[in-house]
Amino acid sequence: MSIPRRLGRLAQGFVSSLQEDERFRERVRTSRERSEALRGAFEAAWKGASQEWRRAEERRAAEEAAAQRTSGWRSATTTFVPRKYPPNVLAAYDRLGLAPGASMEEADRKRRDLVKRFHPDRFSDPEKRVRAERVTAEINAAHDAIERFEEG
């Protein structure tokens, strides 16, 4: 007789002797009951969470609709930009790739990085060099506009 067949018969005998054991049957029964109770609890939790998500989504949609009605022509999804910044300063922040209200240290750091990247001495081609000079001048002008605004 082959080894797998022997192992199969041995396992079959072990399982059949366990099935006759009342303690084993009781343990299997309680395990099934416990798993059914867990399944029921999980389903109830999932149902409650999905209802809560649905209500939150409905509330958010209602708030957006109310904001849409009160704001008139503006979209409720536009980003808020404080009115205290003049247009040239907002353009300067945009040119440096910063959000309005970024600190002066961030503006200095960003200016240094951009000037390193677009410095005219890095380009040997005359057309690229002219473009780099223009971009560097724009970067410096943007930084100066932010600096003047922050000081004044």
Residue 79: per-residue pLDDT:
67
pTM greater than the 0.95 cutoff: no
Please count the CA atoms within 13 angstroms of the CA of 18 that sit on its side-chain side. 11
Assigned token pair, 99 = 């959000």
Residue at a domain's end among 71, 103, 121: 71
Residue 13: per-residue pLDDT:
74
Q: What is the pLDDT of residues 51-89, one digit of tens each?
A: 888 898 898 888 888 877 776 555 555 666 555 788 999
In a domain, 36, yes or no: yes
Q: Which domain holds residue 117?
A: 87-151
In a domain, 82, yes or no: no
14 phi and psi angles, rounded to 5 deg:
-65, -45
Q: What is the b/e burial string over 9-38, where b = at least 16 CB atoms within 10 angstroms of the residue's CB?
A: eeeeeeeeeeeeeeeeeeeeeeeeeeeeee
Specify the number of domains making up the chain.
2
Cα end-to-end distance, the chain, whole Å: 97
In a domain, 80, yes or no: no
Does the structure show a pLDDT above 90 at 114? yes
CA separation for the pair 132, 84 (Å, rounded): 32
Same domain, 52 and 93: no
